[in-house]
Amino acid sequence: MNATTPQPLSLPPVAVPGLPADFRWGVATSAYQIEGAAAEDGRTPSIWDTFCRVPGAVIRGEHGDVACDHYHRVAEDVELIAGLGVDTYRFSLAWPRIQPGGGGPANAKGLDFYKRLIDELHGKNITPWITLYHWDLPQELEDAGGWPARDTAYRFADYAALAYEALGDRVEHWTTLNEPWCSAMLGYDSGVHAPGRTHFPDAIRAVHHLLLGHGLASRRIREAAGDNPLELGITLNLGTATPETDSEADREACRRADGLGRRIYLDPLVHGRYPEDVVADLARRGAQLPVRDGDLETIAAPLDVLGVNFYSGTLFSGTTEDGATEDADGLPVTRGVRRDLPRTAMDWEITPGSLTELLLRLERDYGVPTVITENGAAFDDTVAADGSVPDADRTAYVADHIAAVAAARERGADVRGYFAWSLMDNFEWAYGYDKRFGIVRVDYDTQARTLKDSAKWYRDTIRLTRGTPAP
């Protein structure tokens, strides 16, 4: 919300109608964004350690060397999570901590850290939900070609098997990848994320190899799990594409955006095929998915749950602002159109209704149970004189999106949980520490954690919705 938008009033927490008592409530983080201890206990650099050192890549040249120092504050942070009354904590494993260099045996010290975290969580009755890959590819694997190289998918499956072997006895909920769209498109096409490459055909190769890695890893994990309880899935960042007008050009722009943003992932994962129109769009742009025999069967491994990360929906036009339907390269225009809507500090439009729309569409077209594995907002928080953080804007954002989830459930979408992004302020990738997504504030000078008003609202809303008495 910008300076001219009035702050919403603080919302009182109330039970959310339509959400059952066994609805899963959580908070989420990822390794590189919070852990710090970048060079401790055998961890080797990932592509993000390298990328952060590229001049201009990250605001003020910031990096995750210390971040929230979570590596040294596990007990305190689990206490914090427990105080929120959530039942689930979603976090990621740092691949270069568990398997330094991206190959070979597991690093016992790296595993010990996660065992400690998991044991602390169990001690507080909090369910651990592991993401295997939240963007920290070991640098050596990038040097060998990164995700555009097929071998990376096999290396990922080896790492997944190693992690599951060590932690599978204590963790039931496993997500292979977080947001492969970001890994592929931001990492290899626009280059705004690590490793910072800008070659569209390579980004499309990365898409296929990420999905292949998911399929190979899923197979290894299922085999290793045997009869042990397991809920296995993948998390995608998903939005909606709405045409600006009913024109053919605008509807085509939405088809293309939806194809490259969603169907290129969901169709192979759930239906075992890439959409033909997307393959044709890619060919026009000189790119192709490097599919080999058997790959699609591998990618369509059974999914117990689809993780949905939702932040915003987008309006699309098929013309430039001057009315042209083709860009300088003769390609059809797919242009996101800015609407006059409230926005977050990321400049993302606030569109809770799109979340309902998305969840109903996922139910209709894919039919896999979903959990919102990330939803939340960055705002420019202020700390009041008494030390409190009155973030009414974030509270309103979270409340509206939880209501949107409940609305989707009432209309038949099988959505089973909601995890707030994020537990605490952290390293927001190319934005460094500039953007604060936490429901808990982190003072980076002292590492003090303070519940923002949104955290208190979330805690009380969960309690009221579950119908449990106040402590």
Q: What is d(CA 47, CA 23) in angstroms, rounded to the nearest whole number?
A: 36
Judged by CB under 6 A, the residue of 47, 157, 182, 440 near ligand FCB is 182
Q: Which two tokens stand for residue 233?
A: 């899935």
425 binds ligand FCB, rule: CB under 6 A = no
CB 286, CB 199: distance < 8 Å: no
Of 419 and 437, the one with the shorter C-beta distance to ligand FCB is 437
Cα separations in angstroms, 297 against 139, 219, 266, 274, 469? 29, 11, 14, 12, 48
CB of 239 to ligand FCB, least distance (A): 11
428 binds ligand FCB, rule: CB under 6 A = yes
CB 91, CB 31: distance < 8 Å: yes
Q: Which residues contact 313 (CB under 8 A, 6 or more apart)?
A: 239, 240, 241, 242, 349, 351, 353, 354, 355, 357, 358
- The neighbouring-strand residues paired with 372 are 308, 418
Query: Among residues 62, 120, 252, 374, which one is catalytic?
Result: 374
CB of 182 to ligand FCB, least distance (A): 6
Q: What is d(CA 110, CA 100) in angstroms, rounded to the nearest whole number?
A: 9
Q: What are phi and psi of 442, to 5 degrees?
A: -115, 125
Of 366 and 431, the one with the shorter C-beta distance to ligand FCB is 431
Segment interacting with ligand FCB, rule: CB under 6 A, options 119-127, 162-170, 176-184, 205-213? 176-184
Of 255 and 436, the one with the shorter C-beta distance to ligand FCB is 436
417: amino acid identity, one letter:
G
Judged by CB under 6 A, the residue of 95, 164, 188, 437 near ligand FCB is 437
- The neighbouring-strand residues paired with 438 are none
Q: What is d(CA 8, CA 41) in angstroms, rounded to the nearest whole number?
A: 46
Segment interacting with ligand FCB, rule: CB under 6 A, options 53-61, 177-185, 284-292, 332-340? 177-185
Of 30 and 152, the one with the shorter C-beta distance to ligand FCB is 30
Active site annotation includes 374:
yes
Judged by CB under 6 A, the residue of 429, 433, 457, 458 near ligand FCB is 429
Q: Which two tokens stand for residue 434?
A: 């500039």
CB of 453 to ligand FCB, least distance (A): 20
30 binds ligand FCB, rule: CB under 6 A = yes
Of 182 and 442, the one with the shorter C-beta distance to ligand FCB is 182
- The neighbouring-strand residues paired with 415 are 370
Give me the half-sphere count of Cα atoms (radius 13 Å) on the Cβ side of residue 162. 23
x/- contact string, 32-61, with ligand FCB (CB under 6 A)?
Answer: -x----------------------------
Q: What is d(CA 81, CA 424) in angstroms, rounded to the nearest whole number?
A: 10
Q: What is d(CA 185, CA 200) in angstroms, rounded to the nearest whole number?
A: 8
- The neighbouring-strand residues paired with 421 are 28
Cα separations in angstroms, 141 against 6, 154, 156, 254, 441? 48, 11, 10, 35, 35
Q: Where are the alpha helices (DSSP H) in 241-377?
A: 248-258, 264-266, 276-284, 295-299, 352-365
Q: What is d(CA 228, CA 125) in angstroms, rounded to the nearest whole number?
A: 19
Q: What is d(CA 275, CA 262) in angstroms, rounded to the nearest whole number?
A: 10
CB of 375 to ligand FCB, least distance (A): 9
Judged by CB under 6 A, the residue of 179, 281, 381, 453 near ligand FCB is 179
Segment interacting with ligand FCB, rule: CB under 6 A, options 174-182, 266-274, 402-410, 451-459? 174-182
CB of 373 to ligand FCB, least distance (A): 9
Of 262 and 463, the one with the shorter C-beta distance to ligand FCB is 262
DSSP string covering 372-386: EEE----------TT
CB of 428 to ligand FCB, least distance (A): 6
Judged by CB under 6 A, the residue of 35, 250, 374, 425 near ligand FCB is 374
Judged by CB under 6 A, the residue of 237, 317, 334, 344 near ligand FCB is 237
Of 19 and 378, the one with the shorter C-beta distance to ligand FCB is 378
Q: What are phi and psi of 72, to 5 degrees?
A: -100, 5
How many residues in the shown chain lie near ligand FCB by CB under 6 A?
Answer: 12
CB of 301 to ligand FCB, least distance (A): 22
Query: Among residues 179, 349, 357, 363, which one is catalytic?
Result: 179
Active site annotation includes 363:
no
Of 107 and 426, the one with the shorter C-beta distance to ligand FCB is 426
CB of 237 to ligand FCB, least distance (A): 5
CB 49, CB 139: distance < 8 Å: yes
Judged by CB under 6 A, the residue of 175, 176, 240, 309 near ligand FCB is 309
408: amino acid identity, one letter:
A
Judged by CB under 6 A, the residue of 156, 421, 433, 457 near ligand FCB is 421
CB of 399 to ligand FCB, least distance (A): 18
Q: What is d(CA 78, CA 17) in angstroms, rounded to the nearest whole number?
A: 29
> Where along the sequence are the contacts to ligand FCB (CB under 6 A)?
30, 33, 178-179, 182, 237, 309, 374, 421, 428-429, 437
Q: Hey, which residues are catalytic here?
A: 179, 374
